[in-house]
Structure 1
Amino acid sequence: MATRTRRPERREEPLSRQRIVEAAIALLDTAGEGALTFRALAERLATGPGAIYWHVTGKDELLNAATDAVIATMTADTTSTTSTTGTAGTTGTTAATPQEAIRTLALGVFDAIDAHPWIGTQLARAPSQSPLLRVFEHLGRHIQTLGVPHPAQFTAASALLNYILGVGGQNAANARGHHPHTNRTELLNATATAWADLDPDEYPFTRNVADQLRDHDDRTEFLAGLDLILTGITTRQNPTDQTPP
């Protein structure tokens, strides 16, 4: 009787730092930072914790790598340059202005924090590490392209960075704080109604903008605020000549 040849088992994809980081991002997205343990990650990757430690030294490094992997995609294509002269003497320009490049980068980070709420916490927690530096570096390059004087460049880039992280983080926090069965429209309507019922003497402004809260779009408001900052930066750089009184 002929013996059956045993088919070789299908080999799993080799464990790599990239696979570990991708699995960590998926775990963070579904269960949050508290659920990210090397034991849980090992189960997801069908390996042992020791194999993961071969590629990543600890949770802090893993969180930083996961954040950097997401943020790197936001900064990859947002470098804007002014007219450049090539080796043959030809001159070319990029399609994006510095303002457009800043908007693209800012909205990319905003959307990344919205999709991965844990990123906002990580960016705020590690100001000296590469994920945050990626964003700050690209903002700074665009600020330089705008012609902002050197003494004002740090302030301008910092103002933009703090706005992006602050609004993006708050938006993500609001989303996490909602009851899973709460409809956003219903929540805004309820909040707007509560604002409208505030004491008119103590909260006149808040009562007056209650209807705007009811109908606002988070991304639209984010970009509107960003444009206010950009307008301030460019206006300060190129003040309108005024005739002395």
Structure 2
Amino acid sequence: MMKNEKTGHLYRLRALLYKDICDLRWNGQVLFNLITGAILISLFALLPHEEIPVSFVFAFVFGMLTLLMQGNLVVEEKEQGTIRRLKQAGFSLKEILLSKMMVTFTTTVLILILFFVLYGDRLLFHLQLCILVLPIIIMMLIAGTFLGIKTKNTIEVSLYGSPIMIFYFFLEGLLMNSSQEAMPWLEIFPNYHIHYGIEQIYFNESFFSYLAVPLIWMAAVMVVFISWYKKQQFN
């Protein structure tokens, strides 16, 4: 019984993934964000790497791609009225949201792979970067999912997602223009630890001490979102 239920869940999730991937071909907003992210990554590869921190470039990717793409994928199901039809066909909202997250996560990873290909061939460096930024990616996925649930259309996703992106870039700007000792209060934000964790990786030093705070933030965001989600009654 349990095995059949698990098989059915995997089958429904696979069907949703196939649908979402096919829909991406006609999703102008998502394609625009994807192409913009690819262009920014390519332009960064042409610049001297000392001029712009890698963490600042990642901020564009996670904001313009991960956050907005996830929000747009979720809200468009509501705009088009397909989310209700999917639920009537036997798909749960949890499965629908998980499918969107998997598509967005995969797209973000593909953009990061493009960055790694253009940036160099240091495999260990790239693997360490992936581990370091994974908590930020998950937080952006959750934030995008929340935006998609709470907003009515893609315009509202961009409107309400902008403060998150602006605050993220504001912190990155402070980190770019200050020393590590100048603003110790920035240590409470995960951006600080991503920024200086990348520096540790550059110098082939351990970055794991800079992973603790992002992981704490990720766990807190997940707990808050799951608690909020369980209390909601979705139509």
**TM tier, smaller:** 0.3 to 0.5
Query: Normalized against structure 2, the TM-score is what?
Result: 0.39
Larger Rg: 1
Indicate the structure with greater helix content: 2
Query: Normalized against structure 1, the TM-score is what?
Result: 0.38
